[in-house]
Chains A and B, each alone.
Chain A
Amino acid sequence: MSDTVHQVQQALATQQYIATDVIATVLFLAEKLGKPLLAEGPAGVGKTELSKAWAAATNRELVRLQCYEGLDESKALYEWEYAKQMLYTQLLRDKLSDLLASTHSLTEAADQLAQEEDVFFSERFLLPRPLLRAISSDTPTVLLIDEIDRADAEFEAFLLEVLSDFQVSIPEIGTITAKQRPVVFLTSNNTRELSEALKRRCLYIYIDYPDTEEELRIVQLKVPDLAPKLAQQAVQTVQALRQLNLKKNPSISETLDWARALVTLNAQAIDSQVLENTLTVLLKYEADVERARRAMQRQQGDNGYGRTYR
């Protein structure tokens, strides 16, 4: 790996994020090309964490937009503070009457009022939402658009405009162009296919579950209290669980939770007793727990029904 990519890796390491060569390289490219980075992969492999770490490593503010079904422009971009506008007109009613008192005809009054109209459609009454905040910020930001696959296709189309030019037009005010181009991260759990137009504008990275070695490094970094031998065992168990074709595979964050649980319980080894007690930290479906339990018992020479055939 070249030095520059190495620097990215080291910067992330200072934030306790272990980046593979793949992640570091693609992140470097995203930064250089000024393109959004689309990270896909199963839940809980550190996609969101990556953007947080990068924001902290580069000393930028993190602006987060969490997507959900029904998210629309007014929640993502900006909104007029209708209530505030209303309140101001009510409070300023006297002032307005004074202003209009000198006029003689209705047209004149309307003209007079039109001159002041801008007051009510100025940035004072603009409620910036994440996208506008990231764009209009004076300092460089990291914009995280989380779980874009949950938003509607309609919203995706709207995002395209923002992501390609980094500018938004507000009819009453005009076009706001980014002073500092934010670094954009998009994450997706792959629950639906994103539009090709959106993908075309992004660099793509698929983050999968880490292999044993990487995961062990992560566990040791984040839960240093866990004895090395136990950590090794724990990671191997989790890796084995992921092979089981479960409804929901244990994610890295769940591995870490489990590791912490092991520390708290002061476990000496991962035996069936400990597993029995803590398996629910890793697995969130009853069917999964059942399946895992049976697989573990099979490994220990038991067929899971209380008898052995040997």
Chain B
Amino acid sequence: MEERIARFIAGLRASGVRVSIAESQDAWRAISHLGIQDREAFRLSLRSTLVKDASSIPVFDDLFTQYFGQAPPPLLDPQAELTPEQQQMLQNMVQQMLDQLGSNVQQLLDWLLNGQNPTQDELDALADQAGMNDMPSLSRWEAEQIARRMQRMLGWDWLQEVLDNLWEALAEQGMDPHTIEQLKEQVAQNQERLQEQIGEYAGQHMRDNRVENAQRQKPINDLMQRPFGSLNQTDMERLRQEVRRLAARLRSRAALRQKRGKQGKLDPKSTIRANLRYNGVPFDVRYRERRLKPKLVTILDVSTSMRPVAEFFLRLLYELQDQIQKTRSFAFIDHLEDVTPDLLTTQIDEAITVVLTKLPSGYYNTDLGYSLRQFETAYLDTVDSRTTVVVLGDGRNNYNDPGLEVLSTINRRARRLIWMNPEHPAQWGTGDSDMLSYAPNCSEVYQVCNLAQLEQAIDRILL
């Protein structure tokens, strides 16, 4: 049992639930209080100690049934109630039938008629024959396939015929019908149990497989250093899960800054005013509190090449909502759209799909200059001296008018104008890139071609 629980925890980790050592220790302690007899109590003691996130509960429940399903029952011994003569008769008949048929079903009959459970080695050998070890990883469906193939290797398809022959032969030999009926029933039960055992064996293998695969995955730090363009679907998925932890890191960094920002700055004006009623004796000392939470206006390029960057940018921003006073978000390709209301939903995944489908990618002419001018006419009042403006774009403008004067207007009005560009600085200004003319009009410019760089750049926004 202990080993099974340890495996279960490993399985949880492999499925992306973060379980610390301290938490698994708690789980053991909880089990020592409630025991494992009561399945529901056992499940709850594991769940309340290991899972700390409502979204992980379905994963837990699914894995729990997989790992702690009913253990397949051992095989019955159908010969237990037979007299020695009858046993002898059965042995002889089986031997005869096997001689006729060849040894294909011998092992299977041994197990079923003697109530002998297959050993681990036997199962391993069988699985190897069935080709399980050739597969790098098993899905649940593949595991079922393997189990079925293992049965076939044992001669399962012949079994019914052989057994029918056996019962007939036994009846001819003069065994009484009642005993045969009993034998028949028990063997049928054994058949079911054996099937379950094999299924469980394959399932177990599948789960171990998953744990191993998870351990073999590339470390997340490597992924964070890789450019967005070179990531495949699975990598993206892993990075998406990582975003929340990144955000937590950024948040604690920002919180620390807030704390320092608050320390030790006496606010004389407020102190004097507060203490007038005490005759000017400073009972009530007031400190200056600096609001460090930025107001944000973001202008995002969501053309095809920019999509992954824009997605992760939005995800990080979403997680950091509580560190930002107010956000207005705009997306553009050839024209500008206000996407602020779309991002106000609770589900970030939904929100991102909505934003990205509002401006579907296709044969568009990216036109940053026009979008900026549109911004100037319609939304310039969103920018004031306390606003940080973030432009996320590659600065490639299809040789359109870059709209430099608008950008410098925005820069003058805003507290800071931060440009994030996924391209390497060496590429700026090549071809249709207007980046080199944009750059002098920004207060800060960052390259954000991978998640690590994006994290650092966003940390600067929160400053």
Q: Which residues of A contact B (CB under 8 A)?
A: 1-2, 5, 21-22, 25-26, 28-29, 32-33, 35, 38, 40-41, 82-83, 86, 152-154, 157, 190, 192-193, 195-196, 199-206
Contacts and interface: CB of A to CB of B under 8 A. Distances in A.
Contact of A196 (B18, B40, B281, B285): B18
Contacts of B51: 204
A86 B280 CA distance: 13
A157 to B, nearest CB: 7
A190 B281 CA distance: 44
Q: Which of B41, B44, B247 has the most CB of A within 10 A?
A: B44
B20 interface: yes
A25 B44 contact: yes
A205 B49 CA distance: 9
Of B48, B54, B57, B321, most buried by chain A (CB within 10 Å of CB) is: B48
Interface residues of B, number: 40
Contacts of B321: 192
Given A29-B48, A40-B54, A154-B255, A200 B22 contact: yes
Chain B interface mostly helix, strand, loop or mixed? Answer: helix
A253 to B, nearest CB: 21
A195 B26 contact: no
Interface string B286-329: 00000000000000000000000000000000010110000000
Interface stretch (B29-37, B80-88, B212-220, B423-431): B29-37
B38 interface: yes
B258 interface: yes
Contacts of A196: 18, 52, 245, 248
A35 B244 CA distance: 25
Given A2-B34, A192-B322, A205-B48, A157 B40 contact: no
Contacts of A32: 30, 33
B284 interface: yes
B425 to A, nearest CB: 34
Contact of B259 (A5, A35, A154): A154
Contacts of A157: 252, 255
A125 to B, nearest CB: 13
A203 B49 contact: yes
Nearest to B285: A82
Given A40-B54, A153-B251, A203-B49, A21 B40 contact: yes
A87 to B, nearest CB: 8
B388 interface: no
Contacts of B30: 29, 32-33
Contact of A25 (B45, B53, B244, B284): B45
Interface in B26-75: 26, 29-30, 33-35, 38, 40-41, 44-45, 47-49, 51-54, 57
25 contacts: A2-B41, A5-B41, A21-B40, A21-B44, A25-B40, A26-B48, A28-B34, A29-B30, A29-B48, A29-B49, A32-B30, A32-B33, A35-B26, A82-B285, A152-B255, A152-B258, A154-B259, A192-B322, A193-B244, A195-B248, A196-B52, A196-B245, A196-B248, A200-B23, A206-B57
Contacts of A204: 47-49, 51-53
B26 A33 contact: yes
A218 to B, nearest CB: 21
Given A22-B44, A204-B51, A2 B38 contact: yes
A204 B255 CA distance: 25
A209 B41 CA distance: 21
Contact of A86 (B26, B245, B283): B283
A32 B256 CA distance: 35
Contacts of A29: 30, 33-34, 44-45, 48-49
Nearest to A70: B289
A131 B38 CA distance: 37
A86 B53 contact: no
A236 to B, nearest CB: 26
A154 to B, nearest CB: 4
B252 to A, nearest CB: 6
Interface of B: 18, 20, 22-23, 26, 29-30, 33-35, 38, 40-41, 44-45, 47-49, 51-54, 57, 244-245, 247-248, 251-252, 255-256, 258-259, 281, 283-285, 319, 321-322
A86 B29 contact: no
Nearest to A204: B52
Contacts of A41: 54
B284 A82 contact: yes
Nearest to A87: B283
B54 A190 contact: yes
A255 B40 CA distance: 30
Given A29-B45, A202-B52, A203-B48, A193 B319 contact: yes
A35 B48 CA distance: 11
A22 B18 CA distance: 22
A154 B258 contact: yes
Given A29-B44, A206-B57, 17 more contacts: A2-B34, A2-B41, A25-B40, A28-B33, A28-B34, A32-B33, A33-B33, A82-B285, A153-B251, A153-B255, A157-B255, A192-B322, A193-B319, A203-B49, A204-B47, A204-B49, A205-B48
A200 to B, nearest CB: 5
A21 B48 CA distance: 13
Those 5 A-B pairs whose CB atoms lie nearest each other, nearest first:
A199-B52, A154-B255, A25-B44, A153-B255, A26-B48
Nearest to A86: B283
A175 B249 CA distance: 30
Contacts of B47: 204
A37 to B, nearest CB: 8
Contacts of A86: 281, 283
